[in-house]
Amino acid sequence: MHILVTGGAGFIGSQLATWLRCYQGHAVTVLDNLVRRGSEENLPQLKAHDIKFIHGDVRRREDFHGLRNIELVCDCAAQASVVTGYANPTFDLQNNAFGAIEVLEFAREREIPVIFWSTNRVYPAHRINNLPIEELPTRLSFKDRRLLEPIRGFDAKFGISEKFTVDGGTHSIYGLSKLMADLACQEYAQAYGIPVIINRFGVVSGSGQFGHADQGFLVWWVIAHLLGQPLVIHGHDGKQVRDVLFIEDLLALIDKQVPRIHEFAGQVFNVGGGAANAISLLELTAKVQERTKVKMNLGYLQEPRPNDLKLYWTDHRRVSAAFAWQPRVTIDEGLDRIVEWAQENLETLRRRCL
């Protein structure tokens, strides 16, 4: 199969392209505009594995014209920083929403399937932050109590499922742009019969990710400790919690989805590490300092960033049942790998992340 990976020079895209080429034997073409700092440094890896690279932009239809014999699109292209969108909302909308429309048009004209990278930020922050929550010594946690009226899409043990409402105005501009694209994928699947799978991913991490404060917080926590960079926690005293999915488990899922796209066309899946892989910033700090032997004083700001999620973990039961898949890499295993990789690549990290 010939697969196009848009945004294929980024962390997820380059890992995915390499996986599809080297371990699954597919022909792979990568399309990327190289806007994200440092993404060009993944190009030698792609070239070494005989992956074709096209310097192009998903927002420009003409950049797709040279693509021939594509049989599947994995759309990883996005501006992924939640913070950036507030300063320049049209940038997020053009990249994430209108760019996805161009991908869907490319697929519609050629009658080929798409796997789309959506996000849990399609769920409004104010509704998630108003769920029953209790404060524990090192983290916030969903409060497991009987509700007078059960909340659709919420389970205190398993987290947030696909049934949770997307209504509301606190997605962030980034979340809005991805929700527009998410709904467009569903609409194109119904209106034109395009086989599209929509994966609403949470935090994705792993070795090879050049994280920074706005994206890739797990890796950034390691990098900041090793390079002596300040870490500032916005609100909630560091007890805010997110679940983490490691890149190895993401690739294992895509491997199962590729041959079954037509079976699940137009369907949405929440994909993340789940409650077992949920961690607070306080807990993460302790684990990173234990591994790096570096002690840092964290900075604290009382006010959280606009529309931050103070507590979220993914209910991945539906995707797990559909594809006989489970996250396998634990927080501790993933952190061990990231710390080892970061220690071996300190100079590259200094150049790319600072």
Query: Is residue 329 a part of any domain in this protein?
Result: yes
Query: Is residue 122 a part of any domain in this protein?
Result: yes
pLDDT tens figures, 117-168? 999 999 999 999 999 999 999 999 999 766 667 899 999 999 999 999 999 9
Contact 84, 214 (CB under 8 A): yes
CA dist 211 and 216 (Å) reads 4
pLDDT tens figures, 248-304? 999 999 999 999 999 999 999 999 999 999 999 999 999 999 999 999 889 999 888
Domain count, the chain: 1
Query: Is residue 54 a part of any domain in this protein?
Result: no
Give the domain range for residue 190: 78-353
pLDDT tens figures, 289-343? 999 999 988 999 988 888 999 999 999 999 999 999 999 999 999 999 999 999 9
Query: Is residue 33 a part of any domain in this protein?
Result: no
Contact 204, 250 (CB under 8 A): yes
Predicted local confidence at residue 306, as pLDDT: 86
Using N-to-C axis directions, what is the helix angle for 173-192 and 99-110, rounded to 10°?
A: 20
**CA distances, 168 to each of 30, 89, 122, 229, 240 (Å):** 35, 17, 10, 36, 21
Query: The CATH number of the domain where 95 resides is what?
Result: 3.40.50.720
Query: Is residue 38 a part of any domain in this protein?
Result: no
Query: Is residue 176 a part of any domain in this protein?
Result: yes
Contact 173, 85 (CB under 8 A): yes
In 202-277, DSSP assigns E strands to 203-205, 232-234, 241-246, 267-271
